[in-house]
Amino acid sequence: MSDNVYALLASGFPSDRASPCFLIGERTISYGALETGAARLAALLIRRGVNPGDRVAVQAPKSPESVMLYLAVLMAGAVYLPLNTAYTAHEVRYFLDDAEPALFVADAVPLAREAEALAPLAAPVERAADDLAAIVYTSGTTGRSKGAMINHRNMAANAVALHRAWGFRPGDVLLHALPIFHIHGLFVALHTALLNGSPMLWHAKFDADAVLADLPRATVMMGVPTFYTRLLEHPGLGRAQAEPMRLFVCGSAPLLESTFEAFAARTGHRILERYGMSEAGIITSNPLDGERIAGSVGYPLPGVEVRTDRAGGIEIRGESVFSGYWRMPEKTREEFTSDGFFKTGDVGRQDPDGRLWISGRAKDLIISGGFNVYPKEIELVLDVLPGVTESAVIAVPHPDFGEAVVAVIAGRGEESAVIDAARERLAGFKAPKRVFFVDDLPRNAMGKVQKAVLRAEYAGVFDPVAMHGAQGPESPRR
Ligand code: AMP
Instruction: Give per-residue pLDDT as tens, 334-344.
Output: 999 999 999 99
Task: Give pLDDT tens digits for 358-374.
Answer: 998 888 989 888 788 88
Domain chopping of the chain, boundaries = 5-359, 366-468
Residue nearest to atom 23 of ligand 1 (CA): 253
Task: Give pLDDT tens digits for 72-99.
Answer: 999 999 999 999 998 889 889 999 999 9
Q: Which of 59-73, 194-208, 371-385, 453-467 has the lowest mean pLDDT?
A: 453-467
Closest approach atom of ligand 1 to CA 360: 12
What is the pLDDT confidence band of residue 134, given thresholds at 50, 70 and 90? very high
Q: Dihedral of the CA atoms 439, 441, 444, 445 (nearest 10)?
A: -50
Residues 6 or more apart whose CB falls under 8 angstroms from that of 159 comprise 5, 8, 9, 187, 191, 192, 195
Handedness of CA 224, 227, 232, 237 (dihedral sign): negative
CA of 360 to the centre of ligand 1 (A): 9
Mean pLDDT of 338-354: 97
CA of 84 to the centre of ligand 1 (A): 17
CA of 239 to the centre of ligand 1 (A): 29
CA of 287 to the centre of ligand 1 (A): 18
Residue nearest to atom 7 of ligand 1 (CA): 277
Q: What is the mean pLDDT of the chain?
A: 94
What is the pLDDT confidence band of residue 478, given thresholds at 50, 70 and 90? very low
Q: Is the pLDDT of residue 350 over 60?
A: yes
Provide the pLDDT for residue 88: 87
Closest approach atom of ligand 1 to CA 273: 19
Task: Give pLDDT tens digits for 13-38.
Answer: 999 999 999 999 999 999 999 999 99
Q: Is the pLDDT of residue 471 over 50?
A: no
| DSSP letter (8 states) at residue 443 | B
State the DSSP H helix or E strand holding residue 117, giving kind and residue range, or none if neither.
Answer: none
What is the pLDDT confidence band of residue 452, given thresholds at 50, 70 and 90? very high
CA distance 325 to 327: 6
Closest approach atom of ligand 1 to CA 183: 4
Q: Any idea which fold 366-468 has?
A: GMP Synthetase; Chain A, domain 3 (3.30.300)
Ligand 1, from 273, 275, 320, 364: best to mutate by most atoms within 8 Å of Cβ?
275
Closest approach atom of ligand 1 to CA 274: 19
Closest approach atom of ligand 1 to CA 344: 10
Provide the pLDDT for residue 151: 98
Let me know if domain 5-359 sits in CATH 3.40.50.12780. yes
CA of 478 to the centre of ligand 1 (A): 34
CA of 254 to the centre of ligand 1 (A): 7
Provide the pLDDT for residue 299: 98
Query: Model-level pTM?
Result: 0.90
Residue 442, Cβ density class (10 Å: 0-12 exposed, 13-18 middle, ≥19 buried):
middle
Q: Which residues line ligand 1 (CB under 6 A)?
A: 138-139, 183, 251-254, 273, 275-278, 297, 344, 346, 358, 361, 446
Provide the pLDDT for residue 53: 98
Residue nearest to atom 4 of ligand 1 (CA): 277
Comparison of pLDDT for 68 and 465, the residue scoring more: 68
Residue nearest to atom 21 of ligand 1 (CA): 254
Provide the pLDDT for residue 399: 86
Mean pLDDT of 296-324: 97
CA of 277 to the centre of ligand 1 (A): 5
Q: Is the pLDDT of residue 7 over 90?
A: yes
Order across the sheet with 132-137: list the strands.
Answer: 103-105, 55-58, 79-82, 132-137, 147-151
CA distance 58 to 376: 36
Closest approach atom of ligand 1 to CA 446: 3
Provide the pLDDT for residue 140: 55
Task: Give pLDDT tens digits for 212-245.
Answer: 999 999 999 999 999 999 999 999 999 999 999 9
